[in-house]
Amino acid sequence: MLIMFVGFVLFLAIHLVPQSPKLKASLTDKLGLMGYRMLHGVVALISIVLIFKGYFEARNEIILWYPPIWTRHLAATLMLFASVIGFAGAFSGKLKQWLTSPFSVAIKIWALAHLLANGSLADVFLFVFFLLFAVSYRISLKKRIRAGLVTVPEGKVRDDVIAVVLGLVLYVVMVFWLHEWLFDVAPLG
């Protein structure tokens, strides 16, 4: 699990930078906007690889509980909402305007759904980490909005339609094929 924790530290380190406007401005001044974005992207990708490598190595080592089968169905239902809301973050629709940070809302739903349906110690570490990160990010974003550092654009319903369609496609692909292929777990199995 050490690899997973190293990934957590890197993930937090790079994702806390945008939450500190002074630090972000300093890095952007030194590296340029494109350099900062490249650094952020590379470190974020490395952190995700480490988190999931560590998770897959540890996910069946310590089982804390065996969730009842109905929790898988509840998780699958919650993931339908997470899929749509996650895509809403990529478009300037009414959902984004209303939720402010749809992607962090989607991460919270994703993490909660998976906490309900999984019972290993690695599951708890992974999903609680992302749940707490998403909560922290949303709090920080609201502060930055109040300070005038971030604005939420006026949403268009057309963008919500795109997010719903893409979210539904992702959901169907995940439930019926991709989740089992990637994670060796059938969501409804």
Distance between CA atoms of 176 and 165, rounded to whole angstroms? 17
Place of tokens 């973050």: 89
The pLDDT of residue 112 is above 90:
yes
Going by pLDDT thresholds of 50, 70 and 90, the confidence category of residue 144 is confident
Q: Are the beta carbons of 84 and 99 closer than 8 angstroms?
A: no
84 burial class (0-12, 13-18, 19+ CB within 10 angstroms)? buried
pLDDT (tens digit per residue) in 118-128: 999 999 999 99
Amino acid present at 163: A
Q: What is the DSSP letter of 147?
A: T
Going by pLDDT thresholds of 50, 70 and 90, the confidence category of residue 175 is very high
Domain range list for the chain: 1-58, 62-189
57 burial class (0-12, 13-18, 19+ CB within 10 angstroms)? middle
Determine the pLDDT at residue 164: 97
pTM over 0.85: yes
Determine the pLDDT at residue 108: 98
The pLDDT of residue 81 is above 90:
yes
Distance between CA atoms of 39 and 18, rounded to whole angstroms? 12
